[in-house]
Chain A
Amino acid sequence: MSVNPELVDVVFEPLEVYRVGREKVREFAAAVGASEPQHFDVELARGRGFGDIVAPPTFPIVVQEKTLRQLLSHEASGIDFSRVVHGDQRFEYSRPVVAGDDLIATLRVTKVQSLGGHSMVTAESVMTTPEGDHIVTAVSTLVVRGDEAPE
């Protein structure tokens, strides 16, 4: 079964507010080797003009994965989760995520393609403040391996 092409331009319901926790930021920074003090030291980060400690640039994936689960569990998507491989990832920032941010994430499917027996689905998660100010857009392309695709 291939990915349903009618998914293109489908916009999912925004997720519940994601509150960025300070300890989550520290834990994530340590896990990806982001050792700069602005990811850990509140006073230093504030001294540099940030509201709180700064999340590493790939942190929004934590929220994006929650939105992608909406897509993967969508009954009409035609996506077999066990065949999904992460193909591409991109982040575009208006400003860095900081601890204490409340993120509203909305997923939209932007592209569905077939290529050599595989399907590819591209979806973007736009993350804003509750007031609607853009913070970051995370774009993932997932490759869904086909049944008869050559290895």
Chain B
Amino acid sequence: MSVLWEHAELGDEVASGSFDITRDHLVRYAGASGDFNPIHYRDDVAQQVGLDGVLAHGMLTMGLALSPVLSWLGDSGTVRSYQVRFTKPVYVPAQGSTTLTSTATLTRKDDEPSGDITLTLTVKGEIGQSVLGKALVVVAPR
């Protein structure tokens, strides 16, 4: 059975996407995930703990960053592992939005029998700052 990445070479950018994150997204993620830490919706609380303002949930960033990969795969059931390091906060203004971009690069192809591939995600905020490090997705062929 042929697989999606049969013709993909190491170093190829296989998927990418960008997201305009608003406060509305943060509220929806809070409800969906159950993470109601007020630093994700109240400027005064965020500032009290030394932040510049309200920031996106790290797990929202982690989830959004994967979505171009899921669209490329069409089937999240083949994801064997997914990991990230949270390196910089993603601040989200009260009005308007901030932009997040995620690009997935093929960085490893395992030989048979596993045939797994590893994608490295490059995830950047609005001014090009890297917000996730060591962002790796391992995918099994199907």
Contact = CB atoms under 8 A, between A and B. Distances in A.
B67 to A, nearest CB: 4
Given A28-B32, A88-B84, A33 B64 contact: yes
Interface string B80-109: 111111100000000000000000000000
Given A61-B33, A65-B35, A32 B79 contact: no
Given A34-B76, A57-B76, A93 B81 contact: yes
B24 to A, nearest CB: 10
A54 B75 CA distance: 9
A34 to B, nearest CB: 5
Given A36-B70, A88-B83, A91-B83, A62 B77 contact: no
Contact of A30 (B32, B59, B75, B76): B32
B19 interface: yes
Contact of A31 (B17, B33, B83): B33
Contact of B60 (A24, A31, A85): A31
Contacts of A31: 25, 28-29, 31-33, 60, 63
Contacts of A34: 63, 66-67, 70, 76
A88 B136 CA distance: 12
A90 interface: yes
Contacts of A88: 83-86, 134
A90 B60 CA distance: 14
User: Size band of the B side of the interface?
Assistant: 35 or more
B100 to A, nearest CB: 10
A82 to B, nearest CB: 6
A31 B80 CA distance: 22
Contacts of B84: 88-90
A19 to B, nearest CB: 14
A96 B77 contact: yes
Interface string B21-45: 0000100110111110000000000
Interface centre among A33, A54, A62 (most CB of B within 10 A): A33
B33 A54 contact: no
The 5 closest A-B pairs by CB, nearest first: A32-B63, A90-B83, A31-B32, A33-B67, A58-B63
Interface of A: 24, 27-28, 30-36, 38-39, 48, 50, 54, 56-58, 61-62, 65-66, 82, 85-93, 95-96, 151
12 contacts: A27-B31, A32-B29, A34-B63, A35-B71, A56-B70, A56-B76, A61-B59, A87-B86, A88-B84, A90-B83, A91-B83, A92-B80
